[in-house]
Chain A
Amino acid sequence: MGRKGSFFWVSFSCGIMVLTFILLPLVEMLTAPSGAMLRETLQDRNVIRSIWLSIYTAASAAGISFLVGTPLAYLLARSQFRGKHLIESVIDLPIVIPHPVVGIAILGVAGKNHWLGQYLHEFGIRIMGSTTGIITVLTFVGMPFYINALKAGFEAISPRLENVSRSLGASMWSTFVRVTFPLAWRSVLVGLIMCCARSISEFGAVVVVAYHPMIAPVLIYERYEGYGLQYSQPVAVWLVLVCLSLFLALRLLALPQKKVS
């Protein structure tokens, strides 16, 4: 390899700057609380409950995205139709809308002044200040990430494999179950991780719809507002550690496996 030019050194310096920018505050936050403080925080039932609620609601949002987003992602990957770009833009809307606006928008249709809100109320479904409300908000903000990741996964699978499957007698359902889905499962997993990651970090929309029951980001915010940085940091550390462990496990599952030849 020859002498490294200025382009390399500029790229290298930018890389170092970006990594420092991301890691420095995180490392500072993770190392700030003492071991005793972390242990004490873990014995706090409110902390455990809020972290669990964060994981549970984010997983529920991912589950709902999986159920209703998978067929839509397949349709968008395989079909060409008028208005497709419009649908894709609509799906991307939750990504660009400011978070509190998402909460206000959801409350707008879930309130008693709206026919949908009245309908939900009749069935005993409450959005405001409920776990259902949190899941609704998290699905709203997380689903675009799932659909986009899976759509790219489906697009990478040759339609010819499906054509051959059908020519061998398999129905579209059977082809999806035996060929398309097994080939796309890594994209499914990546989509679920993206959806979960986005959901678990949501604060602005949730705080509008449901301050209580308290998910971890709301609890962290409340402790910061009420008692200051030191009191909120241990909760943040535990949330980050739990999330990192979960995502790492899912990522490992999504890594390509070496096939026996």
Chain B
Amino acid sequence: MIDIRNLNVHLGEFRLRDVSLSIDPGEFFVLMGPTGAGKTVLLEAVAGLVPVLGGNIFIGGRDVTRMLPEERGIGIMYQDYALFPHLRIVRNIKYGLRYHRLDKETAQKRFGRLVDDLGIGHLLKRYPETLSGGELQRVALARALMVEPGIILLDEPLSALDQNFREEIRLLLKKINRSSHITFFMVTHDFSEALTLATKAAIMCEGAIAQTGSIRDLFSKPASTFVASFVGMKNVFSAQFNGNQACVDSLTIEVPQPHHHSTGYIAVRPEDIVISLQRFESSIRNAFPGMICGMIDQGFLYEVHIRVRAVVFKSLVTKGAAIDLALDIGAGVHISFKASAVHVF
């Protein structure tokens, strides 16, 4: 559906460098990356809203690189909703109709269905400034869907919403994606959003794609230290490999399969590291005694830092578990993690 090949964009000091991506029809694709990575610029380049210096964008096999935004059939939704403040909600939703050949009856039917599905019938006569965040987002979605675009670009659509509305809109997006043939291309910072909504994803860093693939692979098999740390793999170590073993400083860690290079990296997700007071008698191959050297409060969880010889591992434990185990800085504990939890790259 969307095929981006070697896209280059220069906007002042910022550069998009040789970006290539492929998104299948009907897919929910998520683009992640730190602030300033170029996610919104890429989205706007696809929509035709920023000038492209090099490369091509194909939509449904058609080269749209030099096409005007209004000719591309792509809807865009921003995190601030961008509803037209001078128009009532009904006119906001119907705004795009005059540019699409649609008979009155079909338009009215579609309008009625969208208003019902999104539960915004009571808002039609109001102005955007009087609506809540969740209502604004529903209206923005209705406005984009009213012209039935082949693709909808979502620029952090949920980030300005509170938790309740966020969950509601997330489910709504999922439902629309499943029930329509619309391809969704969404930028987000939120991993839970990405995991809930996306089938495939990409991570951007400094104007380039760092990794692309299935959402599961991105989180469990990062290809670089940047991606590993970005997706929350807090335990990333450079290692020397010898068969199924990785040597990190003087620590020998069992890995799932031999690495094809003698040196590289290993990464373990903090939630895969189990803390216990006694050593587990189990089949787990990676078990080490250590000492807690730090505890960071993360709301419902603690990020516990455990020093094992010269290596510091990070694990996540619930506050309840931390109290039960009487975890505190200086306490001696054991950590264990499966060889299969170790990602090698």
Instruction: Write the nearest CB–CB distance from A253 to chain B, whole angstroms.
Output: 16
Partner of B12, one of A80, A160, A161, A179: A80
The SS class assigned to the A binding surface is helix
Instruction: Write the nearest CB–CB distance from A151 to chain B, whole angstroms.
Output: 20
Instruction: Given A158-B82, A163-B69, A259-B129, decide whether A168 and B12 contact each other with a Cβ distance below 8 A.
Output: no
Residues from chain B with a CB closer than 8 A to the CB of A170 are: 70, 95-96, 99
B68 CB within 8 Å of chain A: yes
Residues from chain B with a CB closer than 8 A to the CB of A259 are: 127, 129-130
Roughly how many angstroms separate A170 CA and B127 CA in the complex, as a whole number?
21
- A168 touching B75, Cβ below 8 Å: yes
Instruction: Given A160-B80, A170-B70, A179-B84, decide whether A165 and B95 contact each other with a Cβ distance below 8 A.
Output: yes
Partner of B100, one of A169, A174, A179: A169
- A167 touching B76, Cβ below 8 Å: yes
B328 CB within 8 Å of chain A: no
- B99 touching A168, Cβ below 8 Å: yes
Residues from chain A with a CB closer than 8 A to the CB of B129 are: 259, 261
A166 CB within 8 Å of chain B: yes
Residues from chain B with a CB closer than 8 A to the CB of A167 are: 47, 49, 69-70, 72, 74-76, 144, 149, 153
- B127 touching A169, Cβ below 8 Å: no
Chain B residues with a Cβ closer than 8 Å to the other chain, count: 33
Of B69, B77, B98, chain A has the most CB atoms within 10 Å of the CB of: B69
Chain A residues with a Cβ closer than 8 Å to the other chain, count: 21
- B95 touching A163, Cβ below 8 Å: no
A31 CB within 8 Å of chain B: no
Partner of B69, one of A80, A166, A179, A261: A166
B205 CB within 8 Å of chain A: no
Roughly how many angstroms separate A174 CA and B80 CA in the complex, as a whole number?
22
- A166 touching B147, Cβ below 8 Å: no
Interface residues of A (CB under 8 A from B): 80, 158, 160-161, 163-171, 174, 178-179, 182-183, 259-261
Can you list 30 A-B pairs, Cβ within 8 angstroms, ordered by A? A161-B82, A163-B47, A163-B49, A163-B76, A164-B82, A164-B84, A164-B143, A165-B95, A166-B48, A166-B68, A167-B47, A167-B49, A167-B72, A167-B144, A167-B153, A168-B70, A168-B96, A168-B144, A168-B147, A169-B70, A169-B99, A169-B100, A170-B70, A170-B96, A170-B99, A174-B99, A179-B84, A259-B129, A260-B127, A261-B129
Interface residues of B (CB under 8 A from A): 12, 44, 47-49, 68-70, 72, 74-78, 80, 82, 84-86, 95-96, 98-100, 126-127, 129-130, 143-144, 147, 149, 153
